[in-house]
Structure 1
Amino acid sequence: MKNILIILFVLLLFMFIPAVQASYSYDGIPFTIASQGTVNGGVYIDGGHGLEFPPYSQEFDVPDGHIRWARLYVGIWGGREEYEGWVQVDMNGKSMDKVPLLGINDDNTNVYCSGHGVYWIYYDVTDIVVNGENAVIIETSQGEPGNKLDGRVYGTVLAAVYEDKNAPRITYEIYEGNVNLYGTGWSGKQKNMNYETSVFFNDMQNQNSPDGAELTVVYLTS
């Protein structure tokens, strides 16, 4: 059996300015399991080509096979934790509802906000993803009259678990969260620090003689 370890989270490395469920937390939201299991098939992870102004577009090429689970992740830079705005995603021609980005007042269950307004938003897209080409377009409130949210898009990542009876049997774990890593003095007189985080793959320890392992991590910096 091949064990594939997948971590899908954001480590926010505030190299100049470090600034509280899902909701806002300056230190960030700890990692929790979004999906785990065993399947004959694979885990597709792809996306991101750098910080850009909206509209932000990304294409994904998903392998053949029944889609068991899929989430689309979107990163947005707010500029400050007090600034508010919105993000809207279109995937394969399906326009999803606008998601308000409310910074310190955020209480959306699918929005992880930390630091000085770094957003990591997820969308359940199991019923939208198709085998082959998938197109995503992201818009934000940037440019609207009175808007203060920076609104630039860090990137977008698609995680999809697919079944393929001809593929090896694998075990996978997908984690999500948004941890803000920072040191002392990186933001004014900030004395505290939050410089490390960890994830334990307890279930993987029970696997006998794995043929290999893969680890995928998503980082954002500001």
Structure 2
Amino acid sequence: MKNIKKIYILGLIVVALFMLPGLTYADSYYGGKPLETVKHGKVTGGLYIDSYLGFTGNAESANQSIGNAYVYYKFKPLPENAIVKNATLYVLVYSGHMQEAKETYVNVTYNGKLLDSQFLNTTYTYPPAGNNNTAILGPGHDNDPYLMVNNHTMRVTSDYLMWYDVTSLTTAGYNTALINTTGSRDGRIKLITLVVAYDIPNSTNITEYWINLGHDVVSYKDNNYIGKTKFIANIREKIENATLTVVHAASQDGMYTFNDVILPGGQTTADYAGYNVWDVTNYFNKTGENILTYNRTGKFYKIILAGLSAKYSGNKTFTITLTNLGKSTITIKYYISIYTNPVNGTKVSYRELTITLKPNETKTIELGKYPFKYAVSGTMIVKNPSRYRIPLNLRIKYEIEGLNPQMREISKYIAPRGEFRYIARYTGKEEGYADVW
């Protein structure tokens, strides 16, 4: 039941990204769904993409017989210390006809769990009449150049593309998929692709990633169409490396450009699918658009997904700035600890400071460079040795390099021979700000 719910939720997320009509252009004869970003995030490990390539690619066990096929595929291992942040399984099955309804039964099992059993028997209509997707995508999708069968299955020409959230089922090391099909016309399996974003504990690096999903066609019937997809970046840090991966479903690989630089294809292929991996560090734009184009070299080309990742140092400078807003000199004892995470992290630094601030004086405490998800815990003590109460007016600014800072102001009186104790913690959030509590 949980697996079905996850499939449903992932389907809704992808469907939401497909709902805006009229924003993309596809092959005018066969149609298709141009690639769009469906996932974008940051991890401390990396972006992993591995795929079975049909119909003749390597597998643990396979029988790609027309009408009755199965593939059991063991994916390349994830690092043994990987912590999976999100994982998606993609499956592409060939129905045997570009337009007609051909009965196709599909069972999808991942790491021993049955994810889905589908009976597929739909008709695909070429543009301009297209396909009515209003039941799933809503108004404005009466004539789409692709067919949404349900919230996790799309048909373009003779192929059914299915996707599943397998985050909770994916583990470090090896993962497996078993696809069984029965088809009245065909039913062979073109692709089984696993995409994983993962963390590595205590890593000081950040990998920002984009997954662009589609089901796009470039054919000899439309010589004016060249496919294009964008990855929007906004990175301040120096990029250590950037990697682009494309997974396609064509008997003849395409030709590609990334930010107007030609990329060589044909790296890893089978008879009806393949993938390419490029180092695009020197061509990557840290801010703005990164544009991938894809075109045919034969009569017919189809692309399913593209993954882009950019790695940079995750270490940021942590600082605390104190400003005395009052009219009297104050002395602060400050005890500061730094932990590897806010909940149950390991202490990596500790210091005791004595800070004297004259009226209107500001001092900044540089805590060092750490991953932005580390946490700072500070205990501040201000004592009043006199027989009279004294005012305390203090501004505290919590900063992490590259993130929006947070400020706190303290305005109170300290009782005679008393003390004021203030405890605060802060860490960095992926949303781009320092979180204080």
* TM-score interval (norm. to shorter): 0.7 to 0.9
- 1:75 counterpart residue number: 92
After TM superposition, list the pairs within 5 Å mapping 1:108-119 onto structure 2: 108-115=150-157, 117-119=158-160
Which one of 104, 123, 138 corresponds to residue 164 of structure 2?
Answer: 123
Q: Report the structure number with the largest CA radius of gyration.
A: 2
Match of 2:250 in 1: 221
Q: 1:193 to 1:99 in 2, by over 3 A?
A: farther
Q: Percent identity?
A: 30
Residue in structure 1 matching 2:201, options 132, 157, 165: 165
SS of match in other structure, 2:170: coil
Query: For 1:203-214, what aligned pairs fall within 5 Å after superposition?
Result: 204-214=233-243
Instruction: Indicate the residue corresponding to 2:231 in structure 1.
Output: 201
Which structure carries more strand by proportion?
2
Q: 1:84 to 1:66 in 2, by over 3 A?
A: same
Local SS of the residue matching 2:241: coil
Q: Which amino acid is the alignment partner of residue 89 of structure 2?
A: L
Whether 1:55 and 2:84 are equivalent positions in the alignment is no
**1:1-222 correspondence runs (5 A):** 26-51=30-55, 53=64, 54-60=69-75, 61-63=77-79, 64-80=81-97, 81-82=99-100, 83-104=102-123, 107-115=149-157, 117-142=158-183, 147-148=184-185, 150-167=186-203, 168-184=205-221, 192-193=222-223, 195-202=225-232, 204-221=233-250
8 Å contact kept, 2:49–2:196: yes
Which amino acid is 2:200 matched to?
Answer: D
Structure 1 residues 209, 107: CA separation in 2 closer, same or farther (over 3 Å shift)?
same
Q: Contact (CA 8 Å) 1:181, 1:194: kept in 2 or not?
A: no
- For normalisation by structure 2, the TM-score amounts to 0.40
Conserved 8 A contact 1:112-1:177: no
C-alpha separation in 1, matches of 2:163 and 2:224? 24
CA contact (8 A) 1:51 1:154 kept: yes
What is the SS of the residue equivalent to 1:79?
Answer: coil
Name the CA shift for 1:183/1:56 in 2 (closer, same or farther; >3 Å): same
Q: Secondary structure at the match of 1:130?
A: coil
CA contact (8 A) 1:27 1:194 kept: no
The answer to whether the 8 A contact 2:55-2:189 is kept is yes
Shift of 1:173: 0.5
Cα RMSD after superposing both structures: 2.2
**Structure 2 CA distance, aligned partners of 1:112 and 1:221?**
17
Letter in 1 for 2:82: G
If asked which structure has higher relative contact order (CA below 8 Å, sep 6+), I would say 1
Bigger shift: 163-172 or 105-114?
105-114
- Contiguous gaps of at least 5 residues in structure 2: 1-17, 20-26, 57-63, 125-147, 252-437
> Matches of 2:235 and 2:206 in 1, distance apart?
15
Deviation at 1:114, TM superposition (A): 0.9
After superposition, the C-alpha distances for 1:9-37 in whole angstroms (9 at most, x for unaligned) are xxxxxxxxxxxx69xx9411122222111
CA distance in 1, matches of 2:121, 2:151: 12
Q: In structure 1, what residue type is equivalent to 2:169?
A: I
TM-score normalised by length of structure 1: 0.75
